[in-house]
């Protein structure tokens, strides 16, 4: 009986460890927090967006908001990354649930794609230009600014492949479309 109990405890412990280490759902607030960390480790994002002055176009609120979601997860929450100039780097200062309730279409971005397309872009199967031209990626925000920052834009899309995300389910419900930048 004792050996049976030990085995049950070991199995239960292993299951808890595995679930604690499981990847967060793709484009969930937990995933966004990890994407924020990955952003800050990417030299293209942190350095090139300073050189191009992309990060300086913040509408006076001290950061740019990027809100993203999976369009095949109809009831899912959007997530947000906030990017600000910190010294000589464009740093992600927040990743999680949507905080910015009023987006500025000349500064901020909203992007969505199907789960499959996010995964494909994350693997580098195609870049932002092809994704937008084929409408695999829907995009709202300052288009000219984005077009002038294709290398960082591509690095942003590749974050989806760098940050492990479970695609088996959709993130829970929460904040949805915002006025002015709805797609």
Residue 78 belongs to a domain? yes
Question: Per-residue confidence at 2, pLDDT binned at 50, 70, 90?
Answer: low
SS3 166: strand
Q: Measure CA 88 to chain center.
A: 22
CA-CA distances (angstroms) from residue 103 to 64, 65, 120, 141, 164? 9, 7, 27, 9, 28
* pLDDT tens column, 24-36: 999 999 999 999 9
Question: Per-residue confidence at 144, pLDDT binned at 50, 70, 90?
Answer: very high
Residue 18 belongs to a domain? no
pTM score > 0.85 for this model?
A: no
Residue 7 belongs to a domain? no
Residue 173 belongs to a domain? no
* pLDDT tens column, 69-100: 999 998 888 999 999 999 999 999 999 999 99
pLDDT at 1 over 70: no
Residue 133 belongs to a domain? yes
Domain count, the chain: 1
Residue 103 belongs to a domain? yes
Residue 15 belongs to a domain? no
pLDDT at 19 over 50: no
Domain CATH number, residue 123: 3.30.1050.10
Domain extent at residue 88: 23-162
Residue 6 belongs to a domain? no
Question: How far is residue 75's CA from residue 73's CA, in Å, rounded to a whole number?
Answer: 6
Please, which residues have CB within 8 angstroms of residue 150's CB and are 6 or more apart in sequence? 127, 128, 129
Identify which of 112, 77, 113, 72 has the alpha carbon closest to the alpha carbon of residue 98: 77
């Amino acid at each position: 009986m004792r050996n049976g109990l030990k085995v049950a405890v070991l199995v239960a412990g292993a299951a808890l460890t595995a679930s604690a280490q499981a990847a967060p759902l793709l484009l969930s607030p937990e995933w966004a927090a990890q994407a924020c960390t990955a952003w800050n480790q990417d030299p293209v994002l942190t350095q090139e967006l300073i050189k191009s002055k992309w990060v300086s176009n913040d509408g006076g609120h001290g950061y740019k908001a990027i809100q993203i979601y999976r369009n095949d997860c109809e009831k899912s929450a959007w997530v947000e990354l906030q990017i600000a100039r910190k010294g000589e780097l464009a740093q992600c200062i927040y990743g999680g649930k949507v905080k910015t309730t009023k987006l500025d279409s000349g500064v901020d971005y909203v992007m969505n794609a199907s789960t499959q397309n996010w995964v494909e872009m994350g693997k580098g199967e195609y870049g932002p230009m092809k994704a937008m031209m084929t409408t695999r990626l829907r995009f709202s925000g300052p288009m000219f600014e984005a077009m002038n920052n294709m290398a960082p834009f591509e690095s942003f899309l590749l974050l989806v492949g760098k940050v492990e995300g479970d695609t088996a389910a959709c993130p829970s419900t929460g904040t949805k479309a915002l006025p002015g930048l709805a797609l």
